[in-house]
Amino acid sequence: MFASTERFYDDSKTRCQINSRAPGGGGINVARNLRRLGLDVCAIFPAGGHHGDLLAQLLSADGLPFQRIAIANETTQNIALSELSTGKALHLVFPGAVVLPDEWQRCIDAIDALSPAPQMLVISGSLPPSIPAPFFADVIRHCHQRSIKVVLDTSGPALQPALEAGVFFVKLNREDFTALGYNGPDTPKDRLKALKKMVDDGWAEHLVLTLGPNGALLASRSGELMHVTPPPVTVVSHAGAGDSFVSVMTCKLFQGKAVAEAFSYGVAAAAAAISTPGNQLEDFDWLERVHAGVTRRI
């Protein structure tokens, strides 16, 4: 839900206006972007209760193909709240719904049943606490058996087991990088060295570390070590920036573009996303203009 208020108050009621409701969550944001970019997609997700019904209705109205795995508990609704007087924004994210063992097993079964097997599977979003940390790793091993390339964008206890299973492309943020054990200097050179070791250890074919306004770093099994920074943009909303990065880089890789091009477009996509309202990429002319302003350092 996207809402706004003239001013935040910490000692009384903050009265807000609901501006819009949009389907969201990491994987759904990525699926919607990829469809808008021209790819055939299907979103698979667990959802229950009133908010699960609302999510399905919004996706149906959007025209996105999906499989909803029904669950007993209520799906979470997150809130992006803007303070109009200052331009500040709060992105309120709540824990995911409790998903029972038979319910998360049905998610794996739905992926296994896809026919023909997709060329890529994007795993995006955090894992609800009720699901065991190795869940994504199990999904990845199932994908390996069917030669499905996995794109990963998650955090928390599920991240390292998933990486150890080996993925095609993973996007990390600075908190993820620290959680994985990095405690060295914050220089691009030192960070790239650590990223390259992760790639050499077989965790990913392409490994990206995002750095906020300082762009992102890439280490690739094909030898690329890059630092790309975006041009300055006016921040409107942080919702969906990382998902936009994953969407565009995944699309370019799927289309067979060089990893350096795919990576620089991912950086541009994140910058384009934070400079426009909502949680989706919609103005692709703006994306191209932002991409024309990125700086590549190899």
pLDDT digits (tens, 9 = 90+) for 146-165: 999 999 999 999 999 999 99
Whether the predicted pLDDT of 236 surpasses 70 = no
- Tell me which of 280 and 9 has the higher pLDDT: 9
Given this model, what pLDDT does residue 240 score? 67
∠ CA 111-198-150, rounded to 5°: 15
Say how far apart CA 77 and CA 95 lie, in whole Å.
9
Q: Which is the catalytic residue, given 176, 186, 190, 243?
A: 243
Average pLDDT over every residue of 266-281: 79
Q: What pLDDT, in 10s, does the model give residues 23-78? A: 878 889 999 999 999 999 999 999 999 999 999 999 999 899 999 999 999 988 88
The CATH code that applies to domain 23-75+98-297 is: 3.40.1190.20
Residue ranges of domains in the chain? 23-75+98-297
pLDDT over 80 (residue 107) = yes
pLDDT tops 70 at residue 277: no
Residue 57: strand, helix, or coil: helix
Distance of CA 106 to the CA centre of its chain: 22
The pLDDT confidence band at residue 279, using thresholds 50, 70 and 90, is: low
Measure the CA–CA gap between 153 and 155, rounded to whole angstroms.
7
User: Bigger pLDDT: 170 or 279?
Assistant: 170
Mean pLDDT over all residues of the chain? 90
Is 243 among the residues known to form the active site?
yes
CB-CB contact of 121 with 151 (8 Å): yes
Residue 280 in this model has a pLDDT that exceeds 70: no
Calpha distance 50→74 (Å, rounded): 7
Residue 160 neighbours by CB under 8 Å, 6+ apart: 179, 180
Beta bridge mates, 2? 20, 80
